[in-house]
Amino acid sequence: MTRRNLTGKVVLITGAAGGLGAALCQRFAAAGARIAAMDLDAAKLDTLTTSLRAKGAEALALTGDITDPTACESAIAATLAHFGALDGLINNAGISHRSLLADTDSDVIARVMAVNFFGAANLTQAALAQIVARQGFIVTISSVAGFSPLIGRTGYAASKHALHGFFDSLRSEVEGAGVGVTLVCPSFIRTGIGTAATDGSGAPVSSPRITSGVESSPEEIAAQIFDAVAAGRRLLLPDTTARKAWWLSRLAPGLYARIMKQRMGREFSGLL
């Protein structure tokens, strides 16, 4: 299969101001892509785009809320006005909660779904015609929680599972037009999503996140995502924990659930 050449391509990346989003901007820019960086944090976006331009990249800062369909349409319009094209979309923005369902307000689950699922759906729908016209690509950052259960993250897991149904189905609609659709399912990355998670009331979570396996750096995952896009891969399991979880949850789901609860359930000891 011919590798996709990303030099000169225009790529819109959400959640771009920090963590994996910033690493993705840097990796794609290093390959010669032109970057439209979207986030709610205008100050951090300015720092990011200044850094990209200092390295010779073309970069546009887009401050906007992906949960607002109008803001998504405006972001696409601004990208086209600035660059004249849009070749790729990376749906990276996301939030999380860490709380048992019995202790979780319905508003918390609704907010997680609004950002993680509807945000990605909104921006993809706004961008789709341009990406199809350019035979481009769409990448969506899911999680191990997108294909298997994860204790204390019912809303988060639901949002990630929904992404698989949406983007696997979208692929069947657009792959014949030359559009690539890639789902990325990492386990744990050293980003701010863990510390930015909320508890069941929507307040910042106070307990430390418990992880399983080795946490990957954002740069490591960004490099693998770049290679997956270039190779036209449908699914990327970028670390050992993700690959083990994929196969174990399919071949022995009961065993997977027991191991997962033993390792991750420590966050909720005394509550179960």
Q: Assess whether 256 carries a catalytic annotation.
A: no
Catalytic residue of the set 147, 156, 166, 226: 156
Residue 33, sorted as left (phi over 0), alpha (psi -120 to 50) or beta, turns out to be beta
Q: Which residues pair with 137 in a beta bridge?
A: 88, 180
> What is the spatial distance between Cα 56 and Cα 222, in angstroms, rounded to a whole number?
19
Structure tokens at 15: 């959640």
Scanning 69-153, the segments in alpha helix (DSSP H) are: 69-83, 106-113, 120-133
> What is the spatial distance between Cα 78 and Cα 88, in angstroms, rounded to a whole number?
15
Cβ neighbours of residue 231 under 8 Å, at least 6 residues apart?
A: 1, 3, 4
Count of other CB atoms within 10 angstroms of residue 243: 14
DSSP 3-state of 153: strand
DSSP 3-state of 215: coil
> What is the spatial distance between Cα 46 and Cα 243, in angstroms, rounded to a whole number?
36
Could you tell me whether strands 88-91 and 180-184 are parallel, antiparallel, or unpaired per DSSP bridges?
unpaired
Q: Give catalytic residues, as residue numbers.
A: 156
